Amino acid sequence: MKRRLLRTLGFVIVAGVTVGGATVGYLYVRKPATAPPPGITVPMTEARIARGRYIYKLADCDGCHSERDYSRFGGPVVESGRGRGVVFPPELGLPGTITAPNITPDPETGLGAWTDGEKIRAIREGVGRDGAALFPMMPYEAYRSMSDEDVESLVAYLNTLPPIRNQVPRSQVRFPVSLLMKSAPQPAGPVPPPDRSDRLRYGEYLVKIGDCGGCHTPAENGKPIAGMAYAGGKLFRIGPFQVVSSNITPDPKSGLGTWSEDYFLRRFYLYRDYVNQGSPHVGKESFTLMPWLNLATLPPDDLKAMYAYLRTVPPVHHYVNPHPAAGGGERAAR
């Protein structure tokens, strides 16, 4: 698939050269679809900041933008490095040197000089302050459905983070991904709040903002594999550790089909003590990137809504071994 993509893109470029380089020029200079950033200053109210903290945890912003201790279960955040920015390790197999920028309010190395509208546009539309496309490892395609109220709340919370002076280099994305990713950003427009009285719709909203599909859907050449939504099997490597995402479809053999709502909640709330008291050191057999420590703080009604929605996705029979490096055969989600 990758070779076909390269051959196709190469043909387009060669064809462009033969007609005066117009196609080549277009591919390189075209800008992503964008709209002006909203001219807004978000209200810094206690309620807005509290909701923003909730969205920050649900979206697992720390997962990419913060320094973490992967020797302990769940990779808890090193508090002095919250939001400081990260250079992703090469073992993740990304197309180039990819970084998650400093999102603290530091005016020189973070977001301190950004307007609130520019932050909102980056989160939901994938466009930086300079108008360039952000690497879509940042799940802005999922965040595009984040309501105006929630994205403003998230920005309000980001504005409260302690500023950290830490210059993170700009991502260097390899060709041809550097050109293809320009198609990912799209203007979001106004987004109304979700209807919390509709448990399925609200559950879908939470699952999307949590980008559950981003980790639990296997991909090939950066594209989700058709018919495998939420079926697990995506491999992640961090240093000596590796983990494969679980099947969270309602398949009764290999997924969550036998999980009751009560068990679903208990599975998350197992880790509440870790949130309050610190998580233990773990080996390869227990390494995880699943944001258990964040999701353990969600209220029961929200987890119930997420459970209700996940019960409606098409079941996929797909056994997954979450820790292949630790030995053992394939097994269902735990």
Q: Is 176 a member of any domain?
A: yes
For the chain, how many structural domains are there in total?
Answer: 2
pLDDT digits 0-9 by tens, 98-141: 999 999 999 999 999 999 999 999 999 999 999 999 999 999 99
pLDDT at 41: 96
Q: Which domain holds residue 112?
A: 39-183
- Residue 166 and residue 240 share a domain: no
> For the chain, what percent of residues have pLDDT higher than 90?
77
Backbone Cα Rg of the chain = 20
- Residue 169 and residue 88 share a domain: yes
pLDDT at 3: 42
Q: Is 109 a member of any domain?
A: yes
- Residue 211 and residue 117 share a domain: no
Q: Is 331 a member of any domain?
A: no
Sign of CA dihedral 168, 169, 174, 177: positive
- Residue 149 and residue 57 share a domain: yes
Q: Closest by alpha carbon to 56, among 301, 307, 299, 291? A: 291
- Please, are residues 98 and 88 in contact by the beta-carbon 8 Å criterion? yes
Q: Is 14 a member of any domain?
A: no
Q: Is 76 a member of any domain?
A: yes
pLDDT digits 0-9 by tens, 23-61: 556 666 778 888 999 999 999 999 999 999 999 999 999
- Residue 257 and residue 156 share a domain: no
Q: Which of 150, 183, 216 is the last residue of a domain?
A: 183
